[in-house]
Chain A
């Protein structure tokens, strides 16, 4: 299995068990914290399920997935005992274009990431530590 196949296969498997009841979206603390609550949890969950199937998501689904901060509170809310945080994670990757599809959510790839991480390492670690730890 690869990450790409997990997004496709785990996504499809979990979507097949999801009833799009919306309990997860209703329980999610992120949108209200951010001042833009989910007004239609069923539409948001329908968008999640569609995304996992590789279908066009609802606008409510895109908005909810974009506001996911990985609070994990959706897990306990699901009456089907699905791993909703994992579903949200797979859907988030997919909507950011991880499978080469046009992104529906702006990607977060940090182009200077590796060089910046190493630059800070040079500032906070001794040369011996850099050789051993990096």
Chain B
């Protein structure tokens, strides 16, 4: 299974954190399904041009969160994710995106009313037809 993770070395965010955030999001959003066998640590490290130390750390973190499980001798699989957890993740992802949109608005001195109007405009345009 090839996992679509994009590393940005120009970011100040540590590699393991970038990978962990993206992999968690892929699992919680269902893009990588329950039961999927993830690449071996060495394989994944090679794809991402990072070290096995980093990938092992990500797998261990997500395993302790209950998102992954490791079967001795077979590999690391995506565990069953509860629907509560999935809903919470969906909500968080949307809230974060909106927060950054509001931040941009505040930077260019939009009022609350301006932002509401813009939000409605965008929403109408997206849901048209």
Do A and B actually bind?
no
Using CB atoms and an 8 Å cutoff, list the residues of chain A in contact with chain B. none
